[in-house]
Amino acid sequence: MSRFFYLNLKFFILIKPVTKTALTPPLSRYSFSVALEKKGLSPPLSCFFNQPVLICGYSGTGDKMKTVIMGAGAMGSLFGGLLTLSGRDVWLVDIWKEHIDAIRSRGLTLEEKGKAGNIHVNATTEVASIGKADLVLFFVKTYQTEKAVSDALVLQKEDTVFLTLQNGLGNEETICKRVGPRNVVLGVTNHGATLLGPGHIRHAGWGKTDIGELDGTETDRLTEIAQVFRKAEIETEVSSNIHDLVWAKLFVNIGMNALTALTGFKNGQLLDYPETLRLMEALVSEAVEVAKRKGVRFEGNPFDHVRAVAEATRQNRSSMGQDFDYKRRTEIDAINGAVVKEAARMGIPVPYNQAITDLVKANEKRFGQG
């Protein structure tokens, strides 16, 4: 069954028991819309099906965690959409006015598993207009983190949690400089999403999300955040070794992002050619050697995990690939470039990561972003 329905409803909210006779499976977003039209109920409000109650607009869960997402690109919009569908009070914040205007005027269009629907998500370019927040999620590019944190300070109250689910290394350190480590939580997510245009994204890969305290303790606030995410069908676990998991995610980014950008491939296409497979393995192997020297712990063969993620997100275009598509600055300095920097301090040669970093940066200059 589809996660959500988009119904053309202006002033109608339906909260009523739904019996098997009232709505016959298989139920689709489209067939249900037709059923409502036949009842004379017409056109915008996001709705979803949560047996045994059909609810349009709000889930009625009573949860009060106000969430603000800094960076409404593909991933930020995905999390904002999913959390909104679960009934949360969510705000998307981005400087891309056309994107925000599209979301405000017609909703966020989310494609998922071959179907599409619109979700009415709160969205703004003015973070100061939102008020205080319980949870602030960062999905901005790594080089935008410092400015995003500065802008987000207006949201802070004593117990506000600042959670980074960004790519690369060092984001939590940047946040801590302005917020303080007591309010900062670190995380990684293996979901994949593609930005198709203003107000329009595709959910192109499913994976686990992990969150953890910087000192490795397991706290009530982590449990609460994880529960909120799970209710939004975002599989989430609390980790006591989140720093190691950040490196595990970094291996994935190192193996896929720059290569998809330079080749124009989607993630899964990297697996289809022996040449790109060899490059993937070489890039990841160099990063693993650096991580071992730093004392990072990981289980199994990291390259096997990278291949598995590439397959699971086969139809996704990586974030760096999307940056190339739009001729934008990339996060190469926080991904392959971060490995080059760490390796230089240790005296470890990483020629593949150095070469790939140089190639990406040369293209950034060609884009006028270097």
Higher-confidence residue of 22 and 106: namely: 106
For residues 93 and 209, state if they share a domain.
Answer: yes
Which pLDDT score, from 0 to 100, does residue 114 have? Answer: 86
**Predicted confidence (pLDDT) at residue 6 exceeds the cutoff of 70:** no
**Predicted confidence (pLDDT) at residue 62 exceeds the cutoff of 90:** no
**Predicted confidence (pLDDT) at residue 110 exceeds the cutoff of 50:** yes
Q: Which of left, alpha, beta for 107 (phi over 0: left; psi -120 to 50: alpha)?
A: left
Domain of 335: which CATH number?
Answer: 1.10.1040.10
Reported confidence tier of residue 168, pLDDT bands at 50, 70, 90: very high
Looking up tokens 């966020």 gives 108
Burial of 51 (0-12, 13-18, 19+ CB in 10 A): exposed
For residues 145 and 274, state if they share a domain.
Answer: no
Cα–Cα distance between 163 and 175 in angstroms, integer? 9
Which pLDDT score, from 0 to 100, does residue 205 have? Answer: 85
For residues 218 and 118, state if they share a domain.
Answer: yes
Percentage of residues in the chain having pLDDT higher than 90 = 78
Catalytic residues: 249
Q: Which of 108, 174, 104, 107 is nearest to 140 (CA)?
A: 174
**Predicted confidence (pLDDT) at residue 221 exceeds the cutoff of 50:** yes
Least confident of 38-52, 102-116, 256-270, 305-319: 38-52
Which pLDDT score, from 0 to 100, does residue 16 have? Answer: 35
164 CB neighbour count, 10 Å cutoff: 29
For residues 161 and 302, state if they share a domain.
Answer: no
326 within 8 A of 335, measured Cβ to Cβ: no
pLDDT single digits (tens) 269-294: 999 999 999 999 999 999 999 999 99
**Predicted confidence (pLDDT) at residue 165 exceeds the cutoff of 50:** yes
Mean of pLDDT values over 40-48: 35
Over the chain, what is the mean pLDDT? Answer: 86
State the pTM of this model: 0.81
Domain of 199: which CATH number?
Answer: 3.40.50.720
Higher-confidence residue of 1 and 331: namely: 331
**Reduced to 3 states, what is the DSSP secondary structure of residue 7?**
strand
For residues 236 and 249, state if they share a domain.
Answer: no
Q: Which of 260, 301, 256 is nearest to 280 (CA)?
A: 256
**Tell me, what DSSP letter sits at residue 240?**
S
Which pLDDT score, from 0 to 100, does residue 60 have? Answer: 34
Range of the domain at 289: 245-367
For residues 86 and 216, state if they share a domain.
Answer: yes
For residues 308 and 351, state if they share a domain.
Answer: yes
225 within 8 A of 262, measured Cβ to Cβ: no
Which pLDDT score, from 0 to 100, does residue 369 have? Answer: 80
Mean of pLDDT values over 80-88: 97
